[in-house]
Amino acid sequence: MALERKHWIWALTAHPVPDLHALAERLAVGCDVRLTRLPQAGLGLLQLADGALHEPYYLGEFPLSTCSLELALADGRRAAGGAQVMADDAALARSLAILDAVLAARLPGWEAVSAQVHSGTARRDEEARRRRAVLAATRVDFALLGNVGEDDDEN
Amino acid sequence: MKTERIWQADAQQRVFRELVEAFSRPGAVRDLTDWLAGTAAQRAVLATLMDGETTLADPHARLGAADWSLLQARRDTTESARYVVADGRRAPGFQPALGTLESPESGATLLIEVAVVGSGPLTLELAGPGIDGLGIDGRRELRLDGLHPDWLLCRADWSAGFPLGVDILLTDATRIVALPRTTRVTITGNPLA
Amino acid sequence: MSYVAIKGGGRAIAGAAAVTEYLRTEEGLDNPAAGPLAIDAILHQLRHLVDRVVSEGGVYHPQFAALAIKQSLGDTLEAAFALRAWRSTRPRLSATPPLDTSRMRLIRRISSAFKDIPGGQMLGPTPDYALRLLRLELMDESPEAFRAVARDWLESCPEAQLPDSFPKVLDALRAEGLLPPVSAVRDQAAFDITREPLVFPVPRSAALSTLARAETGSLLAIAYSNMRGYGDVHPTVAELRVGYLPVLLPHPVTGELTEAGEVLMTECEVVAMFEADDAGGKPMFTVGYGACFGHNEVKAISMAILDRALQKGMRDGPGNPSEDPEFVLLHVDGVDSMGFASHYKMPHYVTFQSDLDRLRTTRQKSGGPA
């Protein structure tokens, strides 16, 4: 599965939050972290296109935390990172933005972030598998009465 | 990692409190030095007031790209922005939003930086709500340095149709003073007059 | 309306809070096995209660919804009120672009319009076919048995090959030209009911937002009036789906839409009585749309019926209460209506004293004893 940047937050947030903080903390050591947008927790507005006439409307709000920053290494390398995550946790957005910057620019330690993205994706896949199981276990096999025996469930 | 003092919540709460005091007592000069850590008072006020839902115009190009990003305010024209940040040494040269009769609160708040708040050759006599004195007709004197004279002419014009009008916060390096639209201003000492 | 400032209730009010807290924890008296309700237990075992509160509170925060349920002792109106109060303290950081709900990760999808729909029908978790018999075995469920159920079910599930998303049933009908074209207001900004008051007439997007956070029972009651005959929607459920919608926001650096999380939601599209179009073209079905946070099918179906009824009312004027935007939209909000009902408990001593005076005066004038 391709691990495009747009899937990183989703994959990383499959892990416990303390693990993400620990990793970000470790990787930020020796970097100069400059916040370009302060870590903030608030709300986002969920806009949908309605299913009948495709008109935009707001279904409601959701907790949202955001942060943007720039990492600078002693050797002059720089990396911009950012995160918008559905959580009421500004510190989480900051840690995710650090991980985003490290992985995007392949700064030292990026392999660890990449590994977390991979294992997070595996967790998400497992979640998806369970949901598919819910669907598969309840799929309706229509058959007209009298066509196949007594009941379509008796096969 | 260090974050400038003015972006920290406790400093912003203090600055906000000072703004409340300043607008409650027009013409009373308040000092923000304790919360500035060296930056200009106008910038601290912006950091306190701006968020993703405010609109800001910057006709005199006072803000850098980094500050725009941190402030998160939406850039708007001087004609419609809820806040306008300006250099008081220059003539205004724009028409701010004055609000509507249904919604006078949508008139702009102008954040104007001058050379000195509290002393200087320009002397104003202020009257109106929040200005203490004998009876209800209190008077307060405000001295300023480095405010282009056009600002006061324009202010008189903008606030003529009360309750429409603009609210003004003047700042220098460390101090603030408010001139809300309810305050009547008379120029009593003018170096240019 | 006038209230009177009285004092002397302070101690009683503090006492009332303590008594409520006493009732919440009373189970623990002389009972070492008693423990507080875990937030996770509410999230999972009372999930439909959480679904109601996130949707009526208007903010998708299941953990805080569970907390609100816990502190309100299960009162959904109070819990939704607490969640709304919390959200009013939070800054608005951004809004998503209009997201396409066909990307939902489904756990349920049915149609009562067609037997065969592209992708098939999947019942998912539903009580629709259950006998409404009390399951007495749950009266005394052992933790071991409880834990075994989910594990056993999951182990028995075969690996399923299914797509990640499913097409909308309505799209097939629209392709045949049997539905009205998609709205001309697609590019207009949606109405934000958390910022703007409802001043009628309001656009359809304001109605949809108001209905989406309406109180389930209120919505059902008005929709039911239409179903029973005070209206003529006669809906057919083209599609009812429940699933997790990815919430997409632009990446702060690249601008590319990035998944910030997901929300569980229910969505329903109904097809209703056909009409000839104004220009004298061929008759077409009319459509209605309902959606809400969480899994709440009665709410989504009721909303879809009301959306269709209100479209008619907005266009032709209301012929029934359920077609009147003002009547419907101003009376379905749970926090509004419970607040009004509750306010009658406030001291009205002055107004009532004046009512008494007037009654006595009137009786005296009419000659009877005062």
pLDDT tens digits for C250-288? Answer: 999 999 999 999 999 999 999 998 887 667 778 889 999
pLDDT for A55:
95
Tell me how far CA of residue C161 lies from CA of A130, B184, C89, C106, C217, in angstroms: 12, 76, 45, 14, 38
Name which of A28, A33, A38 is nearest B7 (Cβ-Cβ).
A38
Tell me how far CA of residue C283 lies from CA of C177, C234, C273, C274, in angstroms: 10, 16, 10, 6
Average pLDDT of the residues in C172-190: 83
Confidence band (pLDDT; 50, 70, 90) for C368? low
Output DSSP code: residue C28: G
Confidence band (pLDDT; 50, 70, 90) for A148? low
A128–chain B Cβ distance below 8 A for any pair: no
Please judge whether B3 and A36 are an interchain contact, meaning their C-beta atoms are less than 8 angstroms apart: no
Please judge whether A38 and B70 are an interchain contact, meaning their C-beta atoms are less than 8 angstroms apart: yes
* Residues on chain B touching C92 (C-beta within 8 angstroms): 52-53
CB B24 within 8 A of CB B130: yes
CA distance B112 to chain A (A): 25
Percent of chain B, pLDDT > 90? Answer: 87
State pLDDT tens for residues A74-112. 999 999 999 999 999 999 999 999 999 999 999 999 999
State pLDDT tens for residues A32-43. 999 999 999 999
State pLDDT tens for residues B135-153. 556 889 999 999 999 999 9
Q: Calculate the average pLDDT of chain A.
A: 92
Average pLDDT of the residues in C34-54: 97
* Mutation site, A53, A65, A117, A151, interface C, largest C CB count within 10 A: A53
Average pLDDT of the residues in A129-145: 87
Please judge whether A64 and C249 are an interchain contact, meaning their C-beta atoms are less than 8 angstroms apart: yes
Tell me whether strands C92-95 and C236-250 are parallel, antiparallel or unpaired: unpaired
State yes or no: pLDDT of C300 exceeds 90: yes
Q: Which long-range contacts (CB under 8 A, 24 or more apart) does C311-316 make?
A: C311/C204, C311/C286, C312/C286, C314/C201, C314/C204
* Residues on chain C touching A3 (C-beta within 8 angstroms): none
Please judge whether B69 and A32 are an interchain contact, meaning their C-beta atoms are less than 8 angstroms apart: no
Residues 80-109 of C with CB under 8 A from B: 91-94
CA distance B72 to chain C (A): 9
Q: Which of A131-135, B178-182, C154-158 has the lowest mean pLDDT?
A: C154-158
B52–chain C Cβ distance below 8 A for any pair: yes
Please judge whether B70 and A32 are an interchain contact, meaning their C-beta atoms are less than 8 angstroms apart: no
Tell me whether strands B175-179 and B184-189 are parallel, antiparallel or unpaired: unpaired
pLDDT for B189:
79
Q: What is the ipTM of this complex?
A: 0.93
pLDDT for C188:
78
State yes or no: pLDDT of B133 exceeds 90: no
* Residues on chain C touching A80 (C-beta within 8 angstroms): 253
pLDDT, greater one: B188 or C329: C329
Instruction: Nearest chain B residue to C95 by CA: give it.
Output: B52
Give the 3-state secondary structure percentages of chain C, helix then strand then coil, rounded to 5: 45, 15, 40
Residues 6+ apart with CB under 8 A from B134: none
Average pLDDT of the residues in C293-311: 98
**Cα–Cα distance between C281 and C178 in angstroms, integer?**
12
Instruction: Nearest chain A residue to C125 by CA: give it.
Output: A134
Please judge whether B3 and A38 are an interchain contact, meaning their C-beta atoms are less than 8 angstroms apart: yes
* Mutation site, C90, C93, C194, C199, interface B, largest B CB count within 10 A: C93
State pLDDT tens for residues B100-124. 999 999 999 999 999 999 999 999 9
CB-defined contacts B:C, below 8 A: 7
pLDDT for A147:
57
pLDDT for A146:
65
Give the chains touching C; criterion: ≥3 Cβ pairs < 8 Å: A, B
Name which of C121, C125, C183 is nearest A140 (Cβ-Cβ).
C121
> DSSP of B136-173, one letter per residue?
T---EEEEEES--THHHHHHHHHTTTTTS--EEEEE-S
State yes or no: pLDDT of B131 exceeds 80: yes
Residue B132 corresponds to which tokens in the numbers above? 């203490």
Q: Calculate the average pLDDT of chain B.
A: 93
State pLDDT tens for residues A15-70. 999 999 999 999 999 899 999 999 999 999 999 999 999 999 999 999 999 999 99
Residue A79 corresponds to which tokens in the numbers above? 């990396």
pLDDT for A1:
43
Give the chains touching A; criterion: ≥3 Cβ pairs < 8 Å: B, C
**Cα–Cα distance between A73 and C351 in angstroms, integer?**
72
Radius of gyration of chain C (CA): 25
B135–chain C Cβ distance below 8 A for any pair: no
B53–chain C Cβ distance below 8 A for any pair: yes
State yes or no: pLDDT of A154 exceeds 70: no
Size (chain C), residues: 370
B72–chain A Cβ distance below 8 A for any pair: yes
Closest CA to C302 of C254, C237, C363: C237
A28–chain B Cβ distance below 8 A for any pair: yes
**Cα–Cα distance between A90 and A93 in angstroms, integer?**
5
Tell me whether strands B83-87 and B109-113 are parallel, antiparallel or unpaired: parallel
pTM: 0.90
